[in-house]
Structure 1
């Protein structure tokens, strides 16, 4: 089948996905599976290989991510239930002071969202922004934009977030470099898109007085210490970082090298962090075994839905790869003369704008570009830089087909127009800033 037909199949598949999710109101999981079958049929795949390709895509995606997301969900839920997340947010506000509360909200969002899903982090932290807005009588816009920017930066660029972890695994990137470059992208992105943009747009947009916070007041005396709370969140990142750093100073194949490889794998790092949160924090605070079991069980319910959608995105990606659609579109894009890092950003951004999901945009882009970049034998560090570019593109221009768009409006009371001026611009600034960092890093590492 010629390149033009394959490219049209890719474009038609994404447009069909958009129609099914937005107009037909079909669940994203069912829509992705249906579109995957359609893409396989129209690209000329043998009928007997379509189902095998779908199974391969689901297993290849979830084989790694299911463990990470499940353990990460339990880890984050325990940190919330024990007050560790609240402690970090409260300390940030005390350290920065009320006049710089918008910076405190950004930093708190960036740190506290590390072990949490985007939606969960917003739900847990938004009440703090409301409380500060009531206390300072300031414009809520100036506080919620940095908060959402911090949470979004963490979700887009920082391990152990599901999207960055998924990108690193699918791109075969070095996890240690992913942490380093993710920080280089997330911190300036959060500062520019959060406190800076929030201060500018708050002069033109004013949200109504914040809704009453239904969450009970937090008793700071009952919370774990700030140092221990922060250490728990950073613990899995340190283990993964030790693997990358230690690999440069130890003999490959040695006993120490093998141990560093073992404890630095995301599976082991997050498992140890989860056990530390349970036995070192929850039980020490007097939480019963039954309560811990209940907390862990409740954390897995939303994680299951997220995993199914991610798995279906992996099916779509694999069909694009095995059918030849991915290589054709990828080569066409590279053939246009665009640098590979810029092409990753543009492709991810285009898919994000069309269908709304950042995770699906990441997975689909990987499927389109991997056939092009695999023969080039890039290093793990370069692949981490390209992953950051894809992650940046996957969050730009959030609009009405993105759940985050409506989540922001629901919590702040913003109209659709106000959400476009505040949330959409923030996401675009954040994604573009992060992607520029990724492009610069790719050039420096080349």
Structure 2
């Protein structure tokens, strides 16, 4: 087929996906699978190849991510149930003081979201914002914008978040560089889009905190120490970082190098962290085995739904690649003479605006850009920088087709217009900041 036909197929597929999810109110998983079939048919793929490609896309995406997401969900849930997440948030507030509570909320959101899904982190931490607002009489906007920005920054850029982990694995990026560059993008982005923008927009938009906080607090006498709580959250990140350090300073054929490679793999790093939280924290606090099992089971329920949608996004991505739609669109964009890092950002941003999901935007952008960059043999560090560019583009301009848009409005009581002025602008500032940092890093590493 001609390039124009393939590009129209891609555009039509995304428009159809938008219609099915927004207008027809079809579940995202079903819509993605259906649109994948349609994209395969209209791009001229043989019918038997379409089903093989769908299976390949589902397995290729979830083969790595399913283990990480499942273990990460258990890890985050146990940390919450034992009070470790609450301890970190409380210490942050005490350290920053009430006058700088908006900075504390951003920092707490960022750190506590590292082992958690975006939605889970918000549910667990929003009550802190309500409590601080009541004590300080601050406008809720000034507190919730930094909180959401901190959680969103961690979810978009920093391992072991599902989206950054997905990008790193699909792009074959170096995990150590992904951590470093992710932090370089997330921290400035969180500060600009969170406390600074939150302080600005709070003068123009007002939210009222709810009369009652329905989220229970862990008793102070049962909270683990701040140092131990923080070390648990950072533990898997340190193991992955040690693997990268070993790759640069230890002989690759040595036994020591193999050990670092083993414990630094995300599977093993998060598995060890889960075991440490169970045996080193949960049991020490007096939790019985039945309760720990229940916590782990509850953690897997939302993870299963997320994984299905991610897998369906992987199917859509794989169909775009195998049908030739991806290479055609990617080459069309690069044919405009745009730098590859900017192309990554724009591709992810366009898909994000059209269909809403940051995860699907990441998967689709990877599928479109990989055929272009694979022959260039970029290093793992450069691929990490490009992953950050995609991550930045994937969160810009959140609007009514994004679940995060409605999550923000539900918890804050904001109207759609108020949500556009606050949440949408915050996400865009965060994404653009991260994307620019990713582009700068790619240029310096080239």
Bin the TM-score by the shorter chain. over 0.9
What residue in structure 1 maps to residue 39 of structure 2? 39
CA contact (8 A) 1:62 1:311 kept: yes
**Shift of the alpha carbon at 1:253?**
1.5
What residue in structure 2 maps to residue 397 of structure 1? 397
What residue in structure 2 maps to residue 419 of structure 1? 419
Distance 1:345 1:408 in 2: 24
What residue in structure 2 maps to residue 224 of structure 1? 224
CA contact (8 A) 1:134 1:210 kept: no
Distance 1:240 1:210 in 2: 41
Distance 1:119 1:406 in 2: 11
CA contact (8 A) 2:209 2:412 kept: no
CA contact (8 A) 2:179 2:241 kept: yes
CA contact (8 A) 1:39 1:319 kept: yes
What residue in structure 2 maps to residue 101 of structure 1? 101
3-state SS, counterpart of residue 249 of structure 2: coil
What residue in structure 2 maps to residue 188 of structure 1? 188
Structure 1 residues 9-29: Cα deviation after superposition (integer angstroms, max 9, x where no partner)? 000000000000000000000
Distance 1:379 1:276 in 2: 34
Q: Which moved more, 1:86-95 or 1:251-260?
A: 251-260
What residue in structure 2 maps to residue 374 of structure 1? 374
What residue in structure 1 maps to residue 342 of structure 2? 342
Distance 2:11 2:349 in 1: 14
Matches within 5 A, 1:53-202: 53-202=53-202
Judging changes above 3 Å, is the alpha-carbon distance between structure 1 residues 239 and 217 closer, same or farther for their aligned structure 2 residues?
Answer: closer
**Which residues of structure 2 form unaligned runs of 5+?**
none
What residue in structure 2 maps to residue 250 of structure 1? 250
**Which residues of structure 1 form unaligned runs of 5+?**
none
CA contact (8 A) 2:158 2:186 kept: yes
Distance 2:218 2:261 in 1: 40
3-state SS, counterpart of residue 125 of structure 1: helix
Distance 1:158 1:270 in 2: 14
What residue in structure 2 maps to residue 290 of structure 1? 290
**Shift of the alpha carbon at 1:47?**
1.2
Distance 1:85 1:111 in 2: 9
Distance 1:259 1:206 in 2: 54
RMSD: 0.6
3-state SS, counterpart of residue 9 of structure 1: helix
CA contact (8 A) 1:133 1:210 kept: no
Structure 1 residues 284-328: Cα deviation after superposition (integer angstroms, max 9, x where no partner)? 000000000000000000000000000000000000000000000
Distance 2:209 2:148 in 1: 18
**Shift of the alpha carbon at 1:209?**
3.5
**Shift of the alpha carbon at 1:215?**
2.1
Distance 2:47 2:298 in 1: 40
Structure 1 residues 168-191: Cα deviation after superposition (integer angstroms, max 9, x where no partner)? 000000000000000000000000
Distance 2:211 2:368 in 1: 44
What residue in structure 1 maps to residue 279 of structure 2? 279
3-state SS, counterpart of residue 138 of structure 1: coil
Structure 1 residues 83-142: Cα deviation after superposition (integer angstroms, max 9, x where no partner)? 000000000000000000000000000000001000000000000000000001111100
Q: TM-score, normalised by structure 2?
A: 0.99
